[in-house]
Structure 1
Amino acid sequence: KGSNWLMLGPSGPRRLRLAIEHLAQHRGGICFCIDLDPRWVVKLIKMREIGMANLYKEHAIEQVLTILAGGHDIKCMFTTPKLLAAFDEALRSGKLEDKFRQLGKKIPAGGLKSIKAAGITGIFSGGTEFTPQFTREAYEEMLDNGDVYMTPTYGNTLMGLACSKPICPEDGFKISYYAPQPRAAIQVVEPKNFDKLVEYGQTGRVLLTTLTKEFFVPRFPERDEGERELPFETYPWDGVSGVRTFSEFAATTVVGVY
């Protein structure tokens, strides 16, 4: 509580940005946002302008380094797996230290070439690239073997944000998500028969039911698939792991910054 946040994710009129700002303020801090339009990234990738997309990513990271060099006591951040990796790479190459030198500021004795050294203690992250392989790499190489806490999330405007079961080496870095019941509930079903749940551990398409005071959408087929997961103590209802683009859509879906 009381920490300032950095929003390394989509800006503009998006629920995610508002949610992170609200979270920071609710916990007694303020949120610093960069200017990032993920739809422009998707357009660049569709046009095969990969070089331009990479330049735009560098532009986003440059904003982050400028904010961190400003001395705003930022301890927490939201980001996506792709942007987290780009942020880590920029730190390792000494770009935050370069910012300090440009501002005439003293570089701490331990340097500023890691996420931990940059003062970040916790990361809230989400995106389709959140695989066990990436999570292990992040845990071991980017986050000092878990010294920097990271928790994944999964969601959208209809669902809100699903929480994840704590990730750990003992569980193979598997990421299991649990919807924010009773606001939203998810089911993992047979792709050709939405009335049939798959068995635990089996792959199916995600169905989402949303129920709020203002809005009810029953059993909406998401563009995602994953494996059905058992309930556990904190979230005693079904979850889903291995979330990825539904296989029938994968060839035509551009992920962008997520």
Structure 2
Amino acid sequence: MSKDVPVPFTADLSPDEFVQAAMEWHFSPDTGSPFWVKRAAELPFDPLRDIRTWADLDLFPDVSEEWRDVPVDTLVPVGIDKNDWDFRVFDSGGTTGRPKRIVESRSRREGVQWVSTVLDEHKVPGVGDGHWLHIGPTGPHIVGRSIGLLAQLRQTFCHYIDFDPRWVKQRAKQQQTNDVAQYVQHVLDQALDVLRTQPVSVLFATPPILEAISDRDDILDLVQNRVRGIIWAGTSISPETLHVLETELFPNAAVVGLYGNTMMGIAPQRPGAVGPDGQPCVFIPHYPYSRVRLVDPEETTRDVAYGERGQARISLISRDLLLPWTLERDSALCIEPTSAYPQDGVADVRPLTSGNAPSVVEGVY
């Protein structure tokens, strides 16, 4: 890395300096991953010379499809000190097909630490204030690790009720609705035992699981009387259903949404009252490492205006991983930045339904 380039991936860099430092890191043979160093020779441009701003990332192809097959060893930057080597591999949920895989060392954990400060603003129970219960994927899925880290930051325990989102999606695609319903009840039976025996104050669950809880009086009573923080993620939710969760079913809990996926990380719900955009639930990516652009589905390099709906196009730049951009299967409203959160937010996230959109089965995650 040239001596006049700032240390990469520090949030105090200007946006352009941040991108330039990232190019130096990921495309230098001394620091970059074998995947990107090899790819540099095949690109019709020079990343070190031609990529100077976030907008310049448009020059890159979308490589995310290759991450269904690429050996994950080739994604690890060689500049990572071997004494600090603690990479893990995580899979996507497989919503649009075979899973993609990423590697992660510490960058995502730093993002989780930031998310924890946002949860504090939402008044989610803090240090030592009850246990957490995660009802969602673990195993190869990064969300389980992230929720466990959030509990750890609060110096408390996290109980896990694991489920397999791929199996549920497979059954849903085959219209085996009875199998899916039985599986959900199997998950809830396990959650009931934890809620009865442990001092759970924070619950993580997907919207379909929360709706299923509302149909079971035994679990609903425990959640309403004991849980004071509910974090939801994993599938879309209508504004009407979210309003019911917040005001009728769980009025005594801080109900907080998380948007994100394996490729981009977590974007927590913006704290505070409804802003000038009028949206009650706005998600904010981790600045400056992760960005979500809302683009025209028919012209995916053209951003939509604030307040308009577009297709999610995400970028992730960290010390561990470079994903210049990839189109997601989500549609959302583009929300203008605020002084507290200096980049575009997204709201009213739902599956994309345009003619060229991939087929999406959400299942329970």
Judge conservation of contact 1:198–1:228 (CA < 8 Å) in 2: yes
Judge conservation of contact 2:292–2:345 (CA < 8 Å) in 1: yes
Q: Distance in 2 between matches of 1:56 and 1:167?
A: 36
**Matching residue of 1:130:** 237
Judge conservation of contact 2:236–2:351 (CA < 8 Å) in 1: no
The AA in structure 2 aligned to 1:30 is F
Partner of 1:252, secondary structure, is coil
The answer to whether structure 1 residue 26 and structure 2 residue 132 are counterparts is: no
**Matching residue of 1:108:** none
Match of residue 313, structure 2, among 207, 230, 237:
207
Judge conservation of contact 2:133–2:200 (CA < 8 Å) in 1: yes
Which TM-score applies when normalising by structure 2? 0.61
Q: 1:195 to 1:35 in 2, by over 3 A?
A: closer
The answer to whether structure 1 residue 116 and structure 2 residue 224 are counterparts is: yes
**Matching residue of 1:229:** 335
Q: What is the CA-CA distance between 1:131 and the residue it aligns to?
A: 2.1
Judge conservation of contact 1:167–1:175 (CA < 8 Å) in 2: no
**Matching residue of 1:9:** 136
The AA in structure 2 aligned to 1:200 is Y
Which TM-score applies when normalising by structure 1? 0.85
Q: Distance in 2 between matches of 1:169 and 1:187?
A: 21
Q: Distance in 2 between matches of 1:4 and 1:214?
A: 31
Match of residue 216, structure 1, among 322, 326, 331:
322
Q: What is the CA-CA distance between 1:113 and the residue it aligns to?
A: 2.1
Q: What is the CA-CA distance between 1:84 and the residue it aligns to?
A: 0.9
Instruction: State the Cα RMSD in Å.
Output: 2.0
Structure 1 window deviating more from structure 2 (133-142 vs 50-59): it is: 133-142
Runs of 4+ in 1 over 6 A off after TM superposition: 169-173
Q: Distance in 2 between matches of 1:189 and 1:169?
A: 24
Match of residue 60, structure 1, among 171, 187, 197:
187
Partner of 2:162, secondary structure, is coil
Q: Distance in 2 between matches of 1:197 and 1:157?
A: 23
The answer to whether structure 1 residue 46 and structure 2 residue 173 are counterparts is: yes
The answer to whether structure 1 residue 148 and structure 2 residue 253 are counterparts is: yes
Max Rg structure: 2
**Matching residue of 2:211:** 85
The AA in structure 2 aligned to 1:18 is R
Q: Distance in 1 between matches of 2:311 and 2:162?
A: 33
Judge conservation of contact 1:128–1:255 (CA < 8 Å) in 2: yes
**Matching residue of 2:350:** 244
Match of residue 202, structure 2, among 76, 86, 89:
76
Deviations 1:39-93 (A, max 9, x none): 11111111111011100000000000011112x2111111111101112321x2x
Partner of 2:178, secondary structure, is helix
Judge conservation of contact 1:132–1:172 (CA < 8 Å) in 2: no
Q: Distance in 2 between matches of 1:151 and 1:161?
A: 13
Q: Which runs of 5+ in 2 are unaligned?
A: 1-126
Higher relative contact order (CA 8 A, sep 6+): 2
Q: Distance in 2 between matches of 1:225 and 1:9?
A: 23
Partner of 1:82, secondary structure, is helix
Q: Which runs of 5+ in 1 are unaligned?
A: 97-111
Q: What is the CA-CA distance between 1:212 and the residue it aligns to?
A: 0.7
Q: What is the CA-CA distance between 1:168 and the residue it aligns to?
A: 5.8
Residues paired across the two proteins, number: 236
The answer to whether structure 1 residue 164 and structure 2 residue 269 are counterparts is: yes
The AA in structure 1 aligned to 2:189 is E
Q: What is the CA-CA distance between 1:172 and the residue it aligns to?
A: 6.6
Q: Distance in 2 between matches of 1:43 and 1:257?
A: 11
